[in-house]
Amino acid sequence: MLGAGIIKGMAETARNFIGSYTEANLLVTVEYPEQRLPLKESMRNFPFLVFDGEDWQKGLRCVACQICEKECPPQCIFITKDAAKKPDYMGKLQFQPKVFDIDTSVCMSCQICVEVCPFEAIKMDTEFELSTDNRFGDLLLNKEQLARSNEHYHKIHPTEATEVDERLAGEKAKAEAKAKAAVAAAAAKPVLPPKPTAQ
Amino acid sequence: MFEAIDQIFVALKHWVVGQFPAAWQPLGSVFLSIIPILAVFPLLFAITTIVERKTLGRIQNRLGPNRVGPFGLLQPVADGLKSLTKEDIVPYAADQVVHFLAPIALIVPVLLAFSVLPVGRNMVPIDLDAGLLFFFAVGAGSELAVFMAGWSSRNKYSLLGAMRAIAQMVSYELPLILSSVTVVMLVGSLSTVKIVEAQGEAYGWLLKWHVFTPWGLAGFLLFMIAAAAESNRTPFDIPEGESEIIAGYLVEYSGFKFALFFLGEYLGLFAVSSLAITLFLGGWHAPFSFLEWIPSYLWFFGKLSAFIMLFIWLRGTLPRLRMDQLMNLAWKFMLPMCLINIVVAAMWHFTAHWQFVGAVLCRWLLCGAAIGVPYLWLGDALFGEKKLAKRTYRFAD
């Protein structure tokens, strides 16, 4: 019958109208600045530098190897090495970055810097409210602005951060065992020829 | 007591006019009739814009505007200020004078149309003997304004929009007038006041609204369809057709001229809804005689609000018609149905003297069949599912 479809359609819209007051799934709006959806763990935006401990200057994992600078496709990372060396998390002496800048107006969030970093020093952040009224200066982030604690990393990407921590702890344990074995071997040398000890 | 509340605005006007010197009283009276129209209906327009956006939002599972003021209720103020402060751009190649006059030419006839609409008991600016004729005559002026806008902008989209608008409005003017002719036939007057009075009598406690008769119901539905088309509301908003011709004849309008067009369109909607109320829904009368104590103007504006909500609801439901569908509906369906409805109204009138038991039921069945059977048949023939035979292939099997 002519007009039956209109009645059916109007019933449907009325159901949605009333449902928007009574049913949660019929009102999908999230009022963004006041309400926020939890961010997905897989979300990534711009890179940050991880540091361990309390002091970002002491704990920075970056050793200024410049691999990320070379690999960065849009060339948004600028690193200058510091002359002085500092011990890293394994106690090895390493260079430090004197300058570490990322131009977020150039960065394309490809995560290649994270993939290539052998020191787990650079990771992707989830912060996205980065707008400024200054077109150039405020989007060029320096070392201090980029530094985030390992706790922050755990908060935004818990699974990934736990894996990274386990790997680092494993490497550290391995290195310590090696060092201990070397010490033991050195001590035992005059008496017996070196035996392969359990690592 | 109820009488006094019902007539409070009338009494107020008489009192104010009485304060004028005698020579100025006619002018004062005219003035006091115009001011409420200019105040109330644009205010209703402002309320309608926010209500419409909110309701459409809810229909589409959104919240709608809620940033300006509590619950976004001050949104019309923000919109008005925005359109006032926006630059008024007139295209270089446009016909400057006509381009300027078009929004005014749209507003003026629409406002004139309100002058014959009774919004309450004794509340009509002028009680013309040919009120209905006057309404349609000035209502037709809006077509000229739309064409002025489309032509003077010198823009192909504007012209296409104006062309569509003219085709649509001229086509639907006919069903609009033919469906109201039935009322004129049965009431025997073109005066809107008389038409409302004729619906004031009661069968028992139910009032004699025209919509409670078979011809009135059919005429009301036909009138509503034509009214939606006349006021360019969805599903008949093809003159604007955002997805096809951007905004039709409004393309080259900005700032307050655009707002004036919007105002004109909504005022047109209010006017034609008010006319539907006047013709079929008993004007300012209550539906039941025991509810007559509620002031008449409240009934009128309550009905008008219901109409506005209905149009918003329709807008949230129906997609836009295509041009050929629009024309088919007007000429192949609406026009024959209106002509049949006139015959049905005559049947209702000439069977009015039937006195035997069950006469009313008999009249209802007779008239209902006379309008219902053509409706079903025409609807099926024009818009029903096409029964396609199974396609056979001669060579490709």
Chain position carrying tokens 């609807």: B379
**Stretch A98-123: mean pLDDT, rounded?**
89
Is B62 buried (19+), middle (13-18) or exposed (0-12) by CB count in 10 A? middle
Beta bridge partners, A102, equal A77, A141
Report yes or no: A35 at the B interface, CB cutoff 8 Å. Answer: no
Contact B80, B102 (CB under 8 A): no
Chain B residues bordering chain A (beta-carbon distance below 8 Å): 55, 58-63, 66, 313-314, 316-318, 333, 375-376, 378-380, 382-384
Please count the other Cβ atoms lying within 10 Å of the Cβ belonging to residue B213: 21
Are the beta carbons of A2 and B314 separated by less than 8 Å? no
Length of chain B: 397
In three-state secondary structure terms, B268 is helix
The terminus-to-terminus CA distance of chain A in angstroms comes to: 86
B61 contact residues in A (CB cutoff 8 A): 16, 19-20, 26-29
In three-state secondary structure terms, A124 is strand
Omega before B235 cis (within 30°)? yes
Average pLDDT of every residue of chain A: 85
**Cα separation, B295 vs B300, whole angstroms:** 9
* Residue A194 pLDDT level (bands cut at 50, 70, 90): low
| Most A-contacting residue of B54, B61, B377 (CB-CB within 10 A), to test interface | B61
The two tokens of residue A6 are 């209109």
User: Strand B202-203 vs strand B206-207: parallel, antiparallel, or unpaired?
Assistant: antiparallel
**Cα separation, A43 vs B113, whole angstroms:** 60
Are the beta carbons of A29 and B379 separated by less than 8 Å? no
**What pLDDT sits at residue B390?**
82
pLDDT beyond 70 at A197: no
Are the beta carbons of A12 and B380 separated by less than 8 Å? no
Residue type, B142: S
Are the beta carbons of B58 and A16 separated by less than 8 Å? yes
**Helix and strand numbers, DSSP H then E, in chain B:** 16, 2
The terminus-to-terminus CA distance of chain B in angstroms comes to: 86
**Cα separation, B387 vs B397, whole angstroms:** 23
**What pLDDT sits at residue A81?**
86
Rounded to the nearest angstrom, the minimum Cα separation between A10 and chain B is: 6
**Cα separation, B322 vs B325, whole angstroms:** 5
Are the beta carbons of B59 and A6 separated by less than 8 Å? no
- Side-chain half-sphere of B267: how many Cα atoms within 13 Å? 28
**What pLDDT sits at residue B397?**
66
Cβ-Cβ contacts under 8 Å between A and B: the total is 52
The two tokens of residue B132 are 């209905």
Q: List, run by run, the mean pLDDT of 10-residue segments along chain B (397 residues).
A: 79 84 84 88 91 91 87 88 88 88 90 88 85 89 87 88 88 91 90 87 79 89 91 82 79 87 90 92 83 85 93 90 86 92 90 82 87 88 78 79
Report yes or no: A191 at the B interface, CB cutoff 8 Å. Answer: no
A24 contact residues in B (CB cutoff 8 A): none
Rounded to the nearest angstrom, the minimum Cα separation between A34 and chain B is: 12
**Cα separation, B19 vs B21, whole angstroms:** 7
Lateral strand order in the sheet of A147-149: A122-124, A47-51, A147-149
Q: Which of B317, B376, B382 sits opposite A13 (nearest CB)?
A: B317
* DSSP result, B344-384: HHHHHHHTTT--STTHHHHHHHHHHHHHHHHHHHHHHHHHS
* DSSP result, A44-76: --SEEEEE-SS-HHHHB------HHHHH-TT--
What are phi and psi for residue A103, nearest 5 degrees?
A: -90, 100
In three-state secondary structure terms, A81 is strand
* Residue A192 pLDDT level (bands cut at 50, 70, 90): low
**Cα separation, B277 vs A135, whole angstroms:** 59
Q: Which residues contact B201 (CB under 8 A, 6 or more apart)?
A: B207, B208
Rounded to two decimals, the ipTM of the complex is: 0.80
Q: What does the buried/exposed string (b/e) look like for A106-145 if buried means 16 or more CB atoms within 10 Å of the residue's CB? A: ebeeeeebbeebebbbbbbbbeeeeeeeeeeeebbbebee
**Cα separation, A108 vs A112, whole angstroms:** 10
**What pLDDT sits at residue B210?**
85
Report yes or no: A10 at the B interface, CB cutoff 8 Å. Answer: yes
Chain position carrying tokens 């006057």: B134
**Cα separation, B294 vs B115, whole angstroms:** 24
Strand boundaries in chain B, DSSP class E: 202-203, 206-207
* Residue B16 vs residues B21, B23, B26: alpha-carbon distances, Å: 11, 14, 12
**What pLDDT sits at residue A89?**
65
**Stretch A143-148: mean pLDDT, rounded?**
87
**What pLDDT sits at residue A190?**
61
Length of chain A: 199
pLDDT beyond 60 at A153: yes
The answer to whether the Cα torsion of B256, B262, B266, B272 is positive or negative is positive
Please count the other Cβ atoms lying within 10 Å of the Cβ belonging to residue B3: 10
Residues B370, B372, B374, CA angle at the centre, nearest 5°? 75
Please count the other Cβ atoms lying within 10 Å of the Cβ belonging to residue A94: 17
Are the beta carbons of A20 and B379 separated by less than 8 Å? no
Rounded to the nearest angstrom, the minimum Cα separation between B172 and chain A is: 18
**Cα separation, B61 vs A137, whole angstroms:** 42
pLDDT beyond 70 at A46: yes
Q: Which residue of B has its CA nearest to A23?
A: B61
In three-state secondary structure terms, B81 is helix
Rounded to the nearest angstrom, the minimum Cα separation between A138 and chain B is: 30
